[in-house]
Every structure is written in structure tokens, then in C-alpha cells.
Structure 1
Amino acid sequence: MTKTLIVTGKTVEEAVKQGLGQWKVPENRVKVQVLEQAAKGLFGLFGSKDAKVQLELIPDAVEEAIRFLQDVFQTMGVKADIERVEDKDGILLNLTGEELGILIGRRGQTLDSLQYLVNIVANRYSDKHLRMILDAEHFRERRKKTLEDLAGRLAGRVIRTRKDVVLEPMSPADRKIIHSQLQDHPTVRTYSKGDEPNRRVVISLR
């Protein structure tokens, strides 16, 4: 929903500054339309007229993504705080709270689905591609460690038994962790087979 504000001032610049102050946003977050120019009255005193401008707020992509999440949480009846962290890998939204299990889901499936939707929402409001990462109390870091340990154990089994190991269906992100962990292994190799959502990693001898 478009957010607009009409303000007046002695000059156009003053009116714009006043509007920015009300919204507490920088000038690059608004579109300015001049409705009326300031005019001096008779002898510079009588009938003078202030400038009038309309400001239209340009949505912030990350704020819109956060607002989307807050609406989802409210609908689900879940209380969670959202921490925003930006780094070279993208924009991380980390969730904290007491009922995060329902937001993470089985093996992170709900979290992945929410992350997918968050990326759609954010990029709808951005003129450049944004990479949004959704996490819940460092679940992704723990999941990555679990999968890396699993990859090592299963590689050992393949070496001992000389038989391929086929893992359960995984998300693309989880499969990538397995592949990355074993890509430089001297004895085993990995590949994926099957179609989504039942695509699986296979670990076999080189």
C-alpha cells in the first residue's frame, strides 16, 4: 500500500525536510511531487503562500520482508523477534524466541519455505537482486555441522563396504553441503539422482 504525505513550508526544500523529519527517512527514500510553489504576497507581506509538496514513501525491500514475516507470525500465533544482519553473503534475518520449532519444521523445511517467500517479497521491492537468508537461533549452522559429520561417516561406510550409499531426499541447500564436504575426498565421490522433491545424494567410490 502506497504511503503518502502532504506537507507545506516556506519553500519546497523546507516542506520536503519537514516531511522527511516526520517519517524519519533519508531523501532517497521518497518521491517528491510539488503541488504548489511558494509565492510572495503584495509587498512581500500580504497574501503570501507556502509551498506544498506530496511525498511518496519508496518501500524498503528488507523492511517489507520483515513486515511479511511479522504478519505470518501473527497469523500462526507465534512470537518471535527478528534481528537484521548484513554482510558480504547477503542479508540475514535471524529469528529468536521460545516457539521456534514450528518455524523451523522437520529438518528446516518450514524455515526453507519461509526463506523462499521472504526472497520473493524482498526482491519485489528492490531494483537489484537481494539474497535473503532466514535463520532461527543458528539452526542453519547446526544443520551444516550435522550434515558434514554425516557425510564423513557415510564416506567411511562406503570405503569399508565398497557399496554406494543413497541418502534420504534433501533440499538443494542440504545436498550442496554434502557435495561440498566430500568434493575433495580422495576415495569417494558424490552425485545427485532423482527429481525434486525426492532428489537424493549418492556417495560412491571414485
Structure 2
Amino acid sequence: MTKTIEMSGKDINEAKQNALRELDLSEDRVIFEVLEEPSKGFFGIIGGKGAKIRASVKELSPEEKASEFLNELFSTMGMDVDINAKTTDYGYVLNLSSDDDMGIMIGKHGQTLDALQYLTNLAANKGLIENRIHVVLDVEDYRERREDTLKHLAWRMADKVRNHNRKITLEPMNRHERKIIHMALQDENDITTYSDGEEPHRRIVIDVKRKK
């Protein structure tokens, strides 16, 4: 539900400023409606009235909610981060870049980035029942580089499996990264892949495809 308040002031500008202080928002986040114009009264002295306005908080789009959440987070951390948004068929990609060291936002194998992406999606879809969107969070194109790394790892490990005729178990990966490995090797006629173990320690196994 949109938050709406009514505020007064000696003129319209003062009434607006009073509303912004009450809402603790910047002017671009609020829609104003003038309810009463100020009047000077009889001879400009007696019976004068101030201005009265209605201030309504603008509804943010899911993308705006995501960006606002991230901006508040980075501001708290004292980081100056640029957010480049790109629309996709399934939602948005928000690519983060900064002169600061962004490694802290990625973490080991992207674990911190995945956690931050989860929180960003919660913020973007807050209050939504329908038309929920999916936000992919990236840091200086880390995910693209990580995908290339995983594909080359898959091909190297597949060659080792062929040469030694022995299966190889990779380190634990999240579901998205395991899918990249599976897809990279799905057209290899002599190689099979499957997942083994329980989350969060589930691993990819690469093996020679045995003849029945």
C-alpha cells in the first residue's frame, strides 16, 4: 500500500519540505498534490492560511528496489560502487564496478556474491505476489570469467578421465556451476557426468561412459 501523508506550511515549498522530513525521503521519491493554496487573508493580516499538501511515496520498480538496497549497503560500507543494469528475458543483470577492491563482494568461488544476490532478490521482490523478477548480480563480469574457467576445467578433466580411464570428482560447487560443467560435456560421446553428495558439498563426477 502506498504511504500517504498530509502536511501544512506557510507556503507550498515549506509544506513539501515538512513532508520530506517526515517521510525521510528525497524529493524524487515523492508525488505532491496541493490541497490548499496559501492565502494572505484580509488586508494580508487577518485570517491568512498556510498551504496544505498531500505527499505520496512513489512505488519503486523491482529494479529500483534492488539498486536502492545495494546503494544503501555500499554506502554503509563506505564504498563507491557503480551499478550497471541490463534487462534480460528473465529479469535483470546488475553488474557492479568500483575503484575499490571488489574481491570482498565475490568471495571464494563467488559464495559471497551468491549470498548478496539472494538478498538483492528478496529486496527487489518485497511485497510482490505476481510479476516477481530474477536479479543476477555480477561484479566486473566475474560470472562470465568464472563460466569460462569452469568450461576449460571440464574439458581438461574430461581429457584426464579418457587418458587414465578413471573417474574424477571435482570440488563442491553450487547448482549453477554444476550445470555449467554438465552442459560443457553433454556432447562428449565417451564421457558422462553426474552429481554426488548433499548440499552444500555436492560435487560433479566425470567418468568414462561405460558400454552396456
State the TM bucket, normalised to the shorter chain: 0.7 to 0.9
Give the Cα–Cα distance (whole angstroms) in 1 for the partners of residues 127 and 82 of structure 2.
Answer: 22
Paired residues of 2:6 and 2:52 also in contact (CA < 8 A) = no
Question: 1:94–1:134: 8 Å Cα contact kept in structure 2?
Answer: yes
State the distance in 1 between where 2:147 and 2:72 align.
29
CA distance in 1, matches of 2:181, 2:108: 18
Q: Which 10-residue stretch deviates more, 160-169 or 53-62?
A: 53-62
- Name the aligned partner's letter for residue 77 of structure 2: M
Partner residue in 2 for 1:122: 124
Deviation at 1:4, TM superposition (A): 3.3
The yes-or-no answer on 1:176 pairing with 2:179 is yes
Contact 1:60 1:125 in 2 (8 A): no
Deviation of 1:24 after TM superposition, in Å, equals 5.8
Task: Give the Å deviation of 1:184.
Answer: 1.7
Q: C-alpha separation between the residues in 2 aligned to 1:60 and 1:157? A: 49
* Cα distance in 2, alignment partners of residues 56 and 82 from structure 1: 23
Match of 1:111? Answer: 113
Structure 1 Cα separation of the partners of residues 79 and 107 of structure 2: 13
Among residues 101, 104, 110, which one is paired with 1:102 in the alignment?
Answer: 104
Q: Does 1:146 align with 2:145?
A: no
Q: Give 2:168's aligned amino acid.
A: V
- Check whether the contact 1:4–1:57 (CA below 8 A) recurs between aligned residues: no
**1:93 touches 1:132 (CA, 8 Å); kept in 2?**
yes
Q: Which runs of 5+ in 2 are unaligned?
A: 8-25, 37-50
Deviation at 1:140, TM superposition (A): 0.5
The alpha carbon displacement at 1:71 in A equals: 2.2
Query: Which residue among 155, 159, 171 is the counterpart of 1:156?
Result: 159
Please list the CA deviations of residues 31-73 of structure 1 after superposition, one character each: whole Å capped at 9, or x if unmatched: x99x89xxxxxxxxxxxxx997553422322212111112222
Give the secondary-structure state (helix, strand or coil) at the position aligned to 1:109: helix
Structure 1 counterpart of 2:85: 84
Measured at CA, do residues 53 and 4 of structure 1 come closer, stay the same or move farther in structure 2, by a change above 3 Å? closer
Provide the aligned C-alpha RMSD in A.
3.1
1:168–1:200 Cα contact (<8 Å) kept = yes
Instruction: Give, in angstroms, the shift of residue 139 of structure 1.
Output: 0.5
**Residues of 1 paired with 2:83 and 2:201: CA distance?**
32
Residues 2, 56 of structure 2: 8 Å contact kept: no
- The two structures have a TM-score, normalised by structure 1, of 0.74
Question: Aligned to 2:207, what secondary structure does the other structure show?
Answer: strand
Residues 23 and 76 (structure 1), Cα distance of their counterparts in 2 relative to 1, 3 Å cut: closer
Check whether the contact 1:59–1:125 (CA below 8 A) recurs between aligned residues: no
Q: Secondary structure of 1:93's partner? A: strand
Q: Give the secondary-structure state (helix, strand or coil) at the position aligned to 1:91.
A: strand
Q: CA deviation at 1:134?
A: 0.3
Task: Count residues with an aligned counterpart.
Answer: 176
Look up the SS of the partner of 2:180 in the other structure: helix
Residue 4 of structure 2 is matched in structure 1 by 4
4+ aligned runs moved over 4 Å, structure 1: 22-25, 50-54
